[in-house]
Amino acid sequence: MSSTSQKHKDFVAEPMGEKPVGALAGIGDALGGRLEEKGFDKAYVVLGQFLVLKKDEELFRDWLKDTCRANVKQQGDCYGCLKEWCDAFL
């Protein structure tokens, strides 16, 4: 995708390590806070959820919507970011 944000590019450029959940593309302060409340305080925890949902786009989008009320664009950005990261590092 040519229209990926800088955040996306930064995230997929290297292993995520201990990066906070706010480092994910599409996840800003508000969504990040909601995710942290639910226990998803690190990017790798969201990665874990992504993998448990078998990297399926629809399931992951639904889960994001339910968990932190992400809108369609935010869902897409986060999914794309994690997918690309997995393609590169997993």
In the complex with another protein, which residue's Cβ is closer, 19 or 55? 55
Q: What's the min distance (Å) between Cβ of 3 and another protein?
A: 27
Residue of the chain from 10, 37, 62, 87 that contacts another protein (CB under 8 A): 62
Q: What's the min distance (Å) between Cβ of 52 and another protein?
A: 5
Q: If we measure between CA atoms, which residue out of 82, 62, 58 comes closest to residue 71?
A: 62
34: which 2 tokens?
A: 């909601």
Chain-centroid distance, C-alpha 9: 13
Confirm or reject binding of residue 53 to another protein (CB under 8 A). Answer: yes
34 to each of 28, 38, 45, 61, 68, how far by Cα in Å?
A: 10, 7, 14, 15, 5
Q: What's the min distance (Å) between Cβ of 13 and another protein?
A: 27
Q: Which residues bind another protein (CB under 8 A)?
A: 49, 52-54, 56, 58-59, 62-63, 66
